[in-house]
Structure 1
Amino acid sequence: MNQEINKALEVLKNGGIILYPTDTVWGIGCDASNEEAVKKIYQLKKRVDSKALICLVADDRMLKKFVKTVPQVALEIIEITDTPTTIIYDDAQNLASNLIGEDGTIAIRIPDDEFCYQLSRRLNGAIVSTSANVSGLPTPNSFKEIQEEVLKGVDYVVNLHHEKICTKQSSIIKLSNNGVVKIIR
């Protein structure tokens, strides 16, 4: 796994995009602070950049680097949930501007996955994580279902867990600083 982390890290640091296994589905990712890399993902997915993307961070300490105020309830949700849960936060910071929603929000998940944890920790930053498909087409449940266009459109394909089958995306909850909680997915 270390070799794959090193290869993926090199691509991320050089502004490239990767195809990698996450705690949910196969994802397309890049350094979440690199606007040009984020733009490449939107182009590959044929997705308008007003549709937000999810980011992964290593832990709650790193989360605080990208969100001005992390509501206490978010930390409690992260602690008690046993399924992948993405939280949309107000007041995103230190991220590519084309990644942050028009309303200043950002969707972030702390994955329960060793590869994702180590990659984010060693990058010392957030990693974009969007499903490995062209917008409008079904999310692939396994590596073998990923479209050729996506495979050829990334700079590096992580060589781990190609046999993994994923049938569920993360839950998404929006936590506003004013205390409003909304279930998105």
Structure 2
Amino acid sequence: MRVLTKEEFLMEKIFLFKKIVQDAVFIHPTDTIYGIGCNAESEEAVKKVREIKQRQDNPFSVIAPSKDWIMENCEVDEKAEEWIDKLPGAYTLILKLKNKDCIAESVNLGMGTLGVRIPEHWFGKVIEEFGKPIVTTSANVTGGNFMTSVDDIDSAIKLKLDFAVYEGEKKASPSEIIDLSKKGITRKKR
């Protein structure tokens, strides 16, 4: 696994975008914690993330490339629009999926909903430029501790990653989940 700084990633982003389209799996920073990411449109890439996470039966969230992408691909009522207007931010919004073809089926396991976020972080702007959603899930084996430093990454996981974008230790909590897919709003801290 190659470790890149923000500056190195930005200098090589066109090359790295191609790698992501070709099913690369990587660690990325956000405004909260580090995540494992991949092209959310690729079944093969999502399968790799599921193997790394040892997580077969829970859906993943995505970093959306824009608010417009969310509006085009998810069912958005007035309540959801209010939350979308708060993005970017440390929220993951659970919405009903309108366009099932916008992501690989294995992202949400055909559940009909999708967790979307736009981090308040330079990496969110990079995904906007990339123009495709990426899977985002905590950088750990399911049930394990969240990665706060590159030194925390399990050696078995390192072997399965193509690269990591590292910007130092992170001490934040995961994003807050706002479930807008049902009547009423359900908020959940993780």
What TM-score, normalized to structure 2? 0.84
Mapped partners of 1:145, 1:122: distance in 2: 29
| Secondary structure, aligned partner of 1:29 | strand
Given that 1:47 and 1:135 are in contact with CA atoms closer than 8 Å, whether structure 2 keeps it comes out as: yes
Give me the identity figure in percent: 27
Pick the aligned partner of 2:171 from 154, 166, 176. 166
| Secondary structure, aligned partner of 2:141 | coil
Mapped partners of 2:51, 2:184: distance in 1: 33
Using the TM superposition, give the Cα deviation of residue 25 of structure 1 relative to its aligned residue in structure 2, in angstroms. Answer: 1.0
Alignment match, 2:66: 59
Structure 2: segments with no counterpart, 5+ residues:
1-6
- In the TM superposition, 1:132-143 aligns within 5 A as 132-143=139-150
Distance 1:102 1:82, change over 3 A: closer
| Secondary structure, aligned partner of 1:153 | coil
CA RMSD of superposed structures (Å): 2.0
Pick the aligned partner of 1:86 from 85, 89, 92. 92
Q: Does 1:115 align with 2:119?
A: no
Cα deviations by residue, 1:5-60 (Å, 9 ceiling, x for unpaired): 33431221111111111221111101111111000100111111x20111001321
| Secondary structure, aligned partner of 2:105 | coil
Structure 1: segments with no counterpart, 5+ residues:
none
What TM-score, normalized to structure 1? 0.86
Pick the aligned partner of 1:99 from 70, 92, 107. 107
Q: Does 1:33 align with 2:37?
A: no
Using the TM superposition, give the Cα deviation of residue 144 of structure 1 relative to its aligned residue in structure 2, in angstroms. Answer: 2.3
Using the TM superposition, give the Cα deviation of residue 4 of structure 1 relative to its aligned residue in structure 2, in angstroms. Answer: 4.4
